[in-house]
């Protein structure tokens, strides 16, 4: 093996007396492709800062081969010293003759060079910072979460650009697809110590689990704390991944059913606290359109129906209008044309990109309870806030930590814990994977799979979309959106097969009746009308649905009593049977109401045409 051009050996560092790195090592050879992995707070970003010379360790050896250049991308790039994005992109060029490369990179990343860095969005700032570190073609690239705030097209461009460079690469990322594509070595940080695998991320998780099990056995008698952590890692994460593999198989089955329901073409225009059952039709847009500027439509003629239990992924480039689309669906914005409908009984829990719902002066406990005590209620059961926070990898010592002191990953985990503690039947998650470690992503995947309600997920994480959603709504440009059965990879396959030309909604994908042959005089087909029985049903069904929903709530309250079965087994059984019957009756009523509503929409569309 050739000698490394960058070598960090026996690196030690403590913060506030608490050891973070306790002998970590990182050896980077010519052209290396290393992914640096570990849980949030394990020291990945800190080790990168030490490698970049931004931070000095308490102890350890650092060797950088003379003449070799190092470029570092921080999680939160600082461009405040520059007047334009072009000035920032050219800042580290050694040869002024290569200024063309800085300009080309900015153009490839969707910037023109004249932008003021002070006014850039998070995604634009990251694009500018990427152009700055890539322009000089450094010998070593140190990248801390380079895909954060980037859209899918930018992520795929970055993968291609990094593949083409001869630079050595050390990469920290939560994006499994990026790690698998780019890495040929893996360094795992755990308990302040690094362990190296001479293979890429694809082989990491089985190796980690095996290593953790072996080490847990070796240190069983020496260090009880380490044993507990390793057992959690070896058993908890391994078991979770095995469960998730089963869920992936179930997800594939659901997607197959979705494709069959869509006709010949597949294209169509931990436990979370339950908030009661929503109606069968959760959200719907009918020929909806919206634009802030008439010359740049955000949504045009979109008909979309989200039913109870759906897992809808929303994808598109930055600026395509994903947030606006969510506002249309949720009724925060009225469409300028068409109609938007929100179903009955919705209880919405929303996770925004900026985590603005978290107040900096809150402690972790206050973020969950708003100072009302030390317990949270999850599905009718009270849990101590610390036990709940431990599900999200927080320690008892952190319970009184202020939000302002948390890392980006910790804020992400806390925001998830808070949102998922709120009673809901519709989860709206806007970029939930930003700053999360791989173990937390596994947990979030498990939560989404187990969630009893409906999920709308905006994400640029291709692997996560493939693991969680049953359909993907994609921006096709010029305000056009198309829904595809399955995840991101399914969407790409359907696009390649020409499925993008298919209609995007169930109402539009129904087969048209064949036109009559011949040229004789024919009477026009009579227009459809609702029968008197259907008109009457449309009036009385909402009240019937409300009555059954109220009865179900009462029965659920009775059966939720943990002592009921012991106290009165016959009452428990009768209540359970009544609850099953009431739910079946409610489902039948909602189905009948939904079918009449669909028919009424079709009649209205026919009348307009």
Q: Which of 353, 349, 291 is nearest to 318 (CA)?
A: 353
Q: Specify whether 8 is located in the same domain as 44.
A: yes
Q: Which of 5, 6, 19, 8 is nearest to 60 (CA)?
A: 8
How far, in Å, CA of 387 to CA of 417, rounded? 12
Q: Specify whether 334 is located in the same domain as 461.
A: yes
Q: Specify whether 446 is located in the same domain as 574.
A: no
How far, in Å, CA of 337 to CA of 286, rounded? 9
Sign of torsion over alpha carbons 59, 64, 66, 67 = negative
Sheet holding 299-307, edge to edge: 299-307, 281-290, 337-342
Pairing of strands 375-378, 381-384: antiparallel
Q: Specify whether 418 is located in the same domain as 561.
A: no
Pairing of strands 281-290, 299-307: antiparallel
Beta-carbon contacts of residue 114 (< 8 Å; ≥ 6 apart): 84, 85, 86
Q: Specify whether 479 is located in the same domain as 414.
A: yes
Cα angle at 143 between 71 and 457, to 5 degrees?
150
Domain boundary (509, 541, 563) is at: 509
**Residue 402 burial by Cβ neighbours in a 10 Å radius (0-12, 13-18, 19+):** middle
> What stretch of H or E contains 235?
none
What are the φ and ψ backbone dihedral angles of 143, each rounded to 5 degrees?
-120, 120
Q: Per DSSP, what are the bridge partners of residue 281?
A: 307
Measured CA to CA in angstroms, residue 180 lies from 241, 385, 406, 493 at distances of: 17, 36, 29, 20
pLDDT single digits (tens) 374-404 = 888 776 677 888 888 887 878 887 888 888 8
Beta-carbon contacts of residue 328 (< 8 Å; ≥ 6 apart): 285, 288, 290, 299, 335, 340
159 lies in a domain? yes
How far, in Å, CA of 406 to CA of 364, rounded? 10
383 lies in a domain? no
Residue 139 tokens read as 């010998």
Q: Specify whether 562 is located in the same domain as 592.
A: yes
Q: Specify whether 540 is located in the same domain as 490.
A: no
369 lies in a domain? no
Length of the chain in terms of residues written: 609
Number of domains in the chain: 4
How far, in Å, CA of 255 to CA of 494, rounded? 13
- What residues in the chain have per-residue pLDDT under 50? 221, 223-230, 232-233, 262-269, 499-525
Q: Specify whether 324 is located in the same domain as 417.
A: yes
Q: Specify whether 440 is located in the same domain as 559.
A: no
Q: Specify whether 118 is located in the same domain as 42.
A: no
How far, in Å, CA of 168 to CA of 119, rounded? 32
Q: Specify whether 490 is located in the same domain as 430.
A: yes
State the residue range of the domain holding 45. 1-68+139-202
- pTM assigned to the model: 0.66
318 lies in a domain? yes
Give the single-character DSSP code of 117. Answer: G
Beta-carbon contacts of residue 17 (< 8 Å; ≥ 6 apart): none
- The percent of residues in the chain predicted with pLDDT above 70, rounded, is 81
214 lies in a domain? no
Q: Specify whether 348 is located in the same domain as 467.
A: yes
């Amino acid at each position: 093996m050739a000698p490394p051009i960058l070598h960090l050996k026996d690196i030690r560092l403590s913060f506030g007396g608490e050891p973070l790195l306790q002998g970590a090592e990182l050896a980077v050879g010519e052209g290396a492709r290393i992914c640096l992995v570990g849980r949030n707070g394990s020291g990945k970003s800190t080790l990168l800062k030490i490698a970049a010379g931004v931070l000095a360790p308490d102890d350890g050896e650092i060797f950088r081969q003379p003449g070799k250049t190092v470029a570092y991308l921080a999680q939160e790039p600082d461009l405040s010293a520059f007047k334009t994005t072009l000035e920032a992109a050219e800042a580290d060029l050694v040869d002024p003759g290569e200024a063309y490369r800085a300009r080309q990179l900015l153009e490839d990343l969707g910037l023109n060079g004249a932008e003021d860095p002070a006014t850039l969005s998070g995604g634009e700032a990251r694009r500018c910072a990427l152009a700055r570190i890539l322009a000089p073609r450094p010998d070593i690239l140190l990248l801390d979460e380079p895909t954060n705030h980037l859209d899918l097209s930018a992520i795929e461009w970055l993968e291609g650009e990094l593949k083409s460079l001869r630079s050595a690469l050390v990469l920290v990322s939560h994006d499994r697809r990026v790690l698998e594509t780019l890495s040929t070595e893996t360094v795992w940080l755990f308990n302040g110590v690094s362990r190296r695998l001479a293979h890429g991320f694809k082989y990491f998780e089985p190796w980690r689990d095996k290593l953790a099990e072996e080490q847990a056995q070796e240190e069983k008698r020496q260090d009880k704390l380490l044993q507990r952590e390793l057992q959690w890692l070896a058993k908890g994460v391994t078991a979770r991944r095995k469960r998730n593999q089963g869920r992936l198989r179930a997800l594939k089955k659901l997607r197959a059913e979705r494709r069959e329901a869509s006709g010949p073409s597949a294209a169509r225009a931990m436990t979370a606290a339950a908030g009661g059952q929503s109606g069968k039709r959760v959200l719907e847009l009918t020929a909806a359109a919206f634009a802030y500027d008439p010359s740049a439509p955000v949504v045009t003629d979109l008909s979309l129906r989200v039913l109870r239990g759906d897992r809808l992924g929303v994808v598109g480039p930055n600026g395509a209008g994903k947030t606006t689309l969510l506002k249309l669906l949720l009724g925060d914005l009225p469409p300028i044309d068409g109609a938007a409908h929100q179903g009955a009984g919705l209880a919405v829990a929303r996770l925004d990109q900026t985590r603005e719902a978290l107040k900096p002066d809150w402690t972790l406990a206050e973020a969950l309870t708003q100072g009302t005590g030390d317990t949270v209620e999850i599905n009718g059961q009270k849990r101590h806030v610390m036990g709940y926070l431990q599900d999200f990898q927080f320690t008892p010592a952190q319970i009184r930590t202020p939000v302002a002191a948390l890392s980006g990953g910790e804020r992400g985990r806390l925001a998830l814990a808070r949102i998922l503690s709120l009673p809901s039947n519709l989860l709206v998650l806007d970029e939930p994977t930003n700053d999360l470690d791989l173990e937390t992503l596994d947990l979030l995947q498990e939560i989404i799979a187990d969630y009893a309600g409906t999920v709308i997920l905006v994400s640029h994480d291709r692997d996560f979309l493939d693991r969680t959603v049953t359909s993907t709504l994609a921006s096709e440009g010029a305000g056009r959106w198309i829904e595809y059965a399955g995840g991101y990879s399914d969407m790409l396959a359907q696009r390649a097969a020409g499925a993008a030309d298919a209609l995007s909604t169930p109402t539009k994908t129904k087969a048209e009746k064949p036109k009559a042959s011949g040229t004789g005089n024919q009477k026009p087909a009579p227009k459809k009308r609702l029968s008197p029985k259907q008109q009457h049903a449309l009036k009385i069904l909402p009240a019937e649905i409300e009555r059954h929903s109220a009865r179900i709530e009462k029965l659920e309250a009775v059966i939720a009593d943990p002592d009921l079965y012991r106290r009165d087994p016959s009452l428990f059984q009768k209540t359970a049977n009544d609850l099953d019957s009431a739910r079946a009756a409610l489902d039948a009523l909602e189905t009948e109401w939904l079918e009449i509503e669909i028919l009424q929409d079709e009649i209205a569309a026919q009348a307009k045409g």
